[in-house]
Amino acid sequence: MTDSLSDTALTRPMTDPFGRRISYLRVSVTDRCDLRCFYCMSEDMTFLPKADLLTLEELDRLCSAFIHKGVKKLRLTGGEPLLQVDAELIAALHAEGFAVGIETNGTLLPPDGIDWICVSPKAGAELKLRHGHELKLVYPQDGAAPERFEGLAFERFSLQPMDGPDAAANTARAIDYCQHHPQWRLSLQTHKMIGIR
């Protein structure tokens, strides 16, 4: 009897506290990044030992466990996920039935087969990935004005207010910019606004 209960628990769809089915999973595949943005990483950042990072096979196995729980979409993040993600992993996740998205800083080119690409460019970094589904700019950044990116081949342009001690002022600036430049939409990290880090 215990086996059937555990089997049921393993395959029962996940729901949030309001009873809504969870069909989307965000997976950080690495804590490493090829950039050192002051608003993202502290100067004394301690990284996991490489041996403690999941291998591509382990990532596939972990994600695959969620397909039976109703998850249909994965968003791979990091650090910089393209330091870890390759075409083999994307193909394996597709074979499990997932739609695969990625959030990247755009300094590396992705493997083929990614279903959704969000690029978050950083000031002072060469942007190699100049097309995708969403360009999400942390705002404001010296040297990364939104106008610099407006002509790129993205379906959606989002401004995300920079977090930190000036978060309220940055949010007001981002709202004002979006109101005066309708190509841009506001993107908020609401978990940070309510104190979840």
User: What are 90's two structure tokens?
Assistant: 């994307």
Mean pLDDT along residues 155-169: 93
Tell how strand 131-139 and strand 116-119 pair up: parallel
Mean pLDDT along residues 153-162: 96
Question: Which domains are seen in the chain, by residue range?
Answer: 21-40+47-118 (3.20.20.70), 130-197 (no CATH)
Residue % of the chain over a pLDDT of 90: 58
More confident residue, 165 or 189: 165
Rounded distance between C-alpha atoms, residue 155 and residue 87, angstroms: 23
For residue 111, which of 127, 96, 129 has the smallest C-alpha distance? Answer: 129
Rounded distance between C-alpha atoms, residue 120 and residue 107, angstroms: 10
Q: Which backbone phi and psi does 190 adopt, to 5 degrees?
A: -65, -25
Please give the pLDDT value at position 56: 81
Reported pTM: 0.85
Digit-coded pLDDT (tens) for 40-73: 666 677 777 878 888 888 888 888 888 888 999 9
Yes or no: say if 181 and 192 are a contact pair by the CB < 8 Å rule. Answer: no
Digit-coded pLDDT (tens) for 87-139: 999 999 999 999 999 999 999 999 999 999 999 999 999 999 999 999 999 99
CA angle 153/124/128 to nearest 5° reads 35
